[in-house]
Chain A
């Protein structure tokens, strides 16, 4: 591709460079100028992490060809500081604790800056609208709204700048809102995530992934790809020297497919080349001949007799079954005044951390293999890699780079092994940065559950027996299924004293995207069923759902469902304090109608996106400062 000359101003400094026309403005800033503060979160203008100002206008730089920025003035997150100090908005983000993982923050800071430039008196609703094109997965946005309002008021002289200072200079510090020690690195864009890191001689890796949910690999020929100029290594399962296989609980997943693929997105081969484009071209030259197999995509099909086997050593497709038994459930149900049944379903969910997976791997001078990646479990990954590569464990060095959101999704080692093979083969540093699409199809999801719930209660609302049967889709590999089933089972029956109990949590292999660890790890699913079911029971018993819960809560000294004696139990106190905070009005659900007195209080937000706008934006026109 013919290159052309581009001229622009970036953060006040003139830039003139010859560039390839395929670059987007984001690529130019990050890869050519090494302004890596602007992040790529989706490459499609959906998340806003790449937001910059182009001639004063907020733009998503992943959607803009660099040629469009010819002769423009660009402002990035790195240009926000004033004389080397955090500006008011940055200080306000620090004051309110508005940054967590930090990956969305550069884009969010630019959007908040744009909001206050557009209207220095913007109200909460307008601020929300103006931040609406930027996604944050960590904070719930609330502290960002507060930060923007705080900055607005300080800039308008309504509040003093003293308010932006840290609340405590002297100890004790536990119990105080000390500033997050990572904030300034995040609000300035200075922090380097794995995908921001570069090394001399670094190669770029791309991965060939399965287009089929279940298929045998009859032939895998990489010779043409290997012969390409610029390709430094092509790796397949044949490059694994040790014992292949990784997983959080069992090592059922090969680093690269061995004779079979088990889901769409399963990694088959990888290319490390001088640049990403060459690596992508080389992937097309890899010849794979498949024989499609019957794919199992429903959990109930996976456990049928004679079902297709997904992993040879697990002929019944059951990854893990955790049973909990206590008392006599049949007797408890028989003696109950009411037995209430329902089935609940939860869907697979994507972690959607704003930072797609990325890693930079290289050899230390002494031959130690180093992998820097946002891994949530480097201890475990080091052990697995040493076994897979047949290397002494102290010759494998894992460094946890800053994590741009994890939520459990970065506990699986699903690319670090491929990077290792590419480094060992090419003897050069190799970087691999996932696209959003790759991250979504290749990484594990929250386990979808179907939960059959049966609860026996007496007339007073005391639980007599509980029977909970959970079937979860583990997808193609175990990942954390064993642990998720365990936690789901232990916590399923909720914080309630129950004498007779029968809980089963069963995770089964299918040819769907693997399920793995995700925040709340099975307990979110199982307790969703419990808490919905208790309200259903309250309806049948014509009771206040609050009273029903209070009657059954664990107390100090009670035995849990796994027969552990509990010490102090804060459940009732916690429950009452939530109701007090909300000014909860007691009564039976859906019976109070419009008479319910606790609705529409100040702890609510106005419903701003429902149909036609009901509330005008709370703004003060420019020039009419309060």
Chain B
């Protein structure tokens, strides 16, 4: 279903590419997070850590991590809310640190709780702790000779006077920067990303449409690939907004774009199709190998779009946002330069 071909199409298409990198968790300082875990009645698990969903999917990510660490299902996991009087410090929800810092802290807490439980079962079954595995709500010996449900195992521990609890503290040992030359180890885990953008530029109106973005990001290990994609799609679209339309304006200190009628955000009609590929280069310095995606997802988008505009119409926009007015002015300037060149020639 293509548009009829015009002899001199006013719309021109082009493609651009950009790369980017990012550091995971707090910058140039020691980062840390704590968590508590309990294998609970019914073979469920209770996790207490200072974290609440900000929309990125962290609660689901933690539930999946807990499920694999304890051999239960995500739906068996209850996560306590972020409350400074009720839960250990997990610190802030930002810096692309939730999956990395809190995910690893929760995994460590689960390992301790699991170890407490496994120790009791190992004694009962007269096997080494290493010969016990937990999966899908069943705890059993490697040779399948002994098994019980996780629910029964928790009850067995409690009958012996043991509550299978654990705690975890995870740290990322970053160092500060030298004040003179900036040297230092600001992060222990780095991620890389690259995106291709395809645009269509209307040479009469200056309007730019981003039609497609092809994004590739290293996330260490994707706990929930759909969630990773969601972060990439959301990050790309936020960057499309900054690249083409969003602008918080002030005149001599007085704001002039104070509502959503004046401050223009991308709607469903402005967004490109985002096509993602996830690369997994696990972090060797942490228990899970996970890294992160929240912030790095939007780093390459703006320059990829700006480079695509150049590919399409041969003008470089150096200042964001690339509004129709700016694109038109650049096209006019380019035409005038060409005319002068022609006249001189």
Contact = CB atoms under 8 A, between A and B. Distances in A.
B216 A574 contact: yes
B225 interface: yes
Contacts of A11: none
Given A139-B233, A171-B68, A376-B94, A347 B248 contact: yes
Interface in A538-582: 539, 545-546, 549, 553-554, 561-564, 566-571, 573-575, 577-579, 581-582
Contacts of B89: 379
Interface of B: 1-3, 11, 13-23, 27-28, 50-57, 59-60, 63-65, 67-68, 71, 73-75, 77, 79, 81-85, 89-95, 135-136, 177, 179-186, 190-196, 198, 200, 202, 204-205, 207, 209, 211-212, 214-218, 221-227, 229-230, 233-239, 241-242, 246-248, 250, 252-255, 257-261, 263, 265, 267-275, 277, 279, 281, 284, 288, 294-296, 298-300, 302-304, 306-307, 310-314, 316, 318-321
Nearest to A214: B253
A614 interface: yes
Nearest to A564: B185
Interface residues of A, number: 163
Contacts of B192: 495, 569-571, 574-575
B136 A171 contact: yes
B175 to A, nearest CB: 9
A42 B55 contact: no
29 contacts: A97-B226, A132-B268, A140-B236, A145-B268, A170-B136, A176-B225, A178-B63, A180-B227, A181-B74, A181-B75, A349-B246, A376-B54, A377-B92, A378-B50, A410-B54, A411-B92, A483-B27, A519-B238, A520-B298, A523-B295, A528-B302, A570-B192, A574-B194, A577-B216, A579-B214, A581-B275, A601-B212, A610-B202, A611-B205
Nearest to B312: A590
A172 interface: yes
B247 to A, nearest CB: 5
A593 B244 CA distance: 23
Max chain A Cβ within 10 angstroms of own Cβ: one of B179, B205, B234, B316? B234
B54 A406 contact: yes
A143 B247 CA distance: 26
Given A347-B247, A350-B246, A528-B320, A141 B268 contact: yes
B33 to A, nearest CB: 10
B182 A607 contact: no
Max chain B Cβ within 10 angstroms of own Cβ: one of A128, A133, A577, A614? A577
Contacts of B267: 131-135, 141
Given A524-B302, A581-B277, A535 B82 contact: no
B296 A520 contact: yes
Given A494-B19, A520-B298, A566-B190, A440 B259 contact: yes
B17 A347 contact: no
A140 B238 CA distance: 7
A377 to B, nearest CB: 4
Contact of A589 (B185, B311, B318): B311
A175 interface: yes
A33 interface: no
Contact of A44 (B68, B234, B260, B274): B260
B27 A490 contact: yes
A532 interface: yes
Contacts of B304: 531
Given A100-B55, A139-B230, A350-B263, A174 B223 contact: yes
B71 A581 contact: no
Given A513-B255, A523-B295, A605-B273, A590 B14 contact: yes
B318 A347 contact: no
A173 B67 CA distance: 7
